[in-house]
Structure 1
């Protein structure tokens, strides 16, 4: 290392593969593929004017998600809840087209919040709730499914991936009775 020249370090992390039993492989495949085939242009036009509840406790992540959504979707309305308790109250008091739900939050995590929202019954059982997490292991994805989440997007997300996921989840909902 020479002064002013910087340095380079390398490190290796062993990947631990974990075997888990997936209850329904078709459901898991649909869940993981949410939005993968949707085109960005179709997604944007179909998403115009939607109302989203963004549930996230990290201010930087809130800023990034809001910026991406507002830059990509015309007339989008984004409300923010910083924990699961606030999310449940906002969903009960307002009408949203979908919820983007962080899973690791203080006070009430995203799994608990999703279960609480689903427990309201009626239309709340069909409200699209998309998990947002950096943990993409199969066990985590299965945990999101088990909690009642509709889709999954890994963090950090790319704009096209986010739009395609939102489009896919809402398109599935439009086709439902």
Structure 2
């Protein structure tokens, strides 16, 4: 690997002699690293805007966590840089470090006292640098393959072909990314000029599917922001008909698609109107019922789009990103309808639906509708078996909301 021409590697150690081998390995592969030994220096590094990988060396995992998170706590009211943290630990702490990594407490760990895998530090740093959008220049695959005298010609050929295919796929993804970004820019410009905007929704959906969390490349984060902004401009004008299905019977088709658009009361109300004109002074002002909805959804993109869509309606909306949060809300407030995603970070929607329907809580009779991104028959049937009233294919559209409320005779008004 060629030496990387940026300064994004920070090593915190209070014993440089003990970590001398690690320091020498890092210096051989990166143009420069920052070696620091005080908490004040660590705080300053995290305050700087430059993205970086921070390695914290100490005698125990607990000590590395204390060093790092005390610095984070000191900066609780200050913007911090995008970074990843790696705990450098002794061998007997590996199991604890692995659990910390799995839980997200640290981004990675390295057994460094003593170092068993000399180049593992380079692999970890390179991987994490790529995660935060920074890349070094790799050596050519051919340079590695050609010097391996014990490799057969067959092995060399198949490796070179496979690596080239991976490169082609990555270049194709980068090209699609640039193309989608350009199409979003064109669409926004057309909308600003009151022209029709055209989007390749299939390609956009494919690209956005790579965005799963906050740990994504800056290029994807930028694309996500642009896509959400554009969709916010047009989402209230989308007229595609989404699907709301009753619990399907064994002999019935999985989906029931309606080509008609259900009606909605388009009367706009003034909710804080404290007066009437003299002509109607004795006529009571009608106060419309505002339905209460809970959406349990951990996909930020899907949730944001749904929130944008529901702004057009007079709905009292609560959202939950986890099952635990949902159960807390459901124990305190009666809802008219619940939209439930299946895949949640701490549980699954099947369990929640079953728990709600079997409980004697205030939402035991509230209709729960499953949110699904595909037409998986077994998932739909499983949801129905535990008490779901039906399902809606994501993403949601205006018509799907209107039909959902009409199905359960819930009042719905435009704002």
Q: Is the pair's TM-score, using the shorter chain for normalization, greater than 0.5?
A: yes
CA contact (8 A) 1:153 1:162 kept: no
Which residue of structure 2 aligns with residue 65 of structure 1?
306
Summarize the Cα distance change of 1:105–1:44 in structure 2 as closer, same or farther, 3 Å threshold.
farther
SS in 2 for 1:125: coil
Which residue of structure 2 aligns with residue 97 of structure 1?
336
The Cα offsets for residues 28-71 of structure 1, whole Å up to 9 and x where unpaired, read as 66x8439x4774323777x9621100111122211111111122
Runs of 5+ consecutive residues of structure 2 not aligned to the other structure: 1-174, 177-247, 268-287, 411-415
Summarize the Cα distance change of 1:44–1:77 in structure 2 as closer, same or farther, 3 Å threshold.
farther
Runs of 5+ consecutive residues of structure 1 not aligned to the other structure: 1-5, 8-22, 173-177
CA contact (8 A) 1:85 1:113 kept: no
CA root-mean-square deviation: 3.0
CA contact (8 A) 2:309 2:398 kept: yes
Aligned length: 146
Q: In 1, Cα distance between the equivalents of 2:256 and 2:409?
A: 14
Q: Which has the higher contact order (CA 8 A, sep 6+)?
A: 1
Summarize the Cα distance change of 1:121–1:129 in structure 2 as closer, same or farther, 3 Å threshold.
same
Which residue of structure 2 aligns with residue 19 of structure 1?
none
Summarize the Cα distance change of 1:91–1:38 in structure 2 as closer, same or farther, 3 Å threshold.
farther
Larger Rg: 2
Q: In 1, Cα distance between the equivalents of 2:342 and 2:266?
A: 26
Alignment TM-score, normalising by the size of structure 2:
0.32
Q: In 1, Cα distance between the equivalents of 2:367 and 2:331?
A: 14
2:295 aligned residue (46, 51, 54): 54
2:373 aligned residue (134, 138, 152): 134
SS in 1 for 2:404: helix
Give, in angstroms, the shift of residue 132 of structure 1: 0.4
Give, in angstroms, the shift of residue 77 of structure 1: 0.9
Give, in angstroms, the shift of residue 143 of structure 1: 1.2
Summarize the Cα distance change of 1:38–1:58 in structure 2 as closer, same or farther, 3 Å threshold.
same
CA contact (8 A) 1:88 1:116 kept: no
Q: 1:24 aligned to 2:249?
A: yes
Which residue of structure 2 aligns with residue 33 of structure 1?
256
SS in 2 for 1:99: strand
Summarize the Cα distance change of 1:117–1:158 in structure 2 as closer, same or farther, 3 Å threshold.
same
Summarize the Cα distance change of 1:127–1:154 in structure 2 as closer, same or farther, 3 Å threshold.
same
Q: 1:147 aligned to 2:386?
A: yes
Which residue of structure 2 aligns with residue 87 of structure 1?
326
Give, in angstroms, the shift of residue 122 of structure 1: 6.3
The Cα offsets for residues 99-138 of structure 1, whole Å up to 9 and x where unpaired, read as 1111111101111111111121366332111100112122
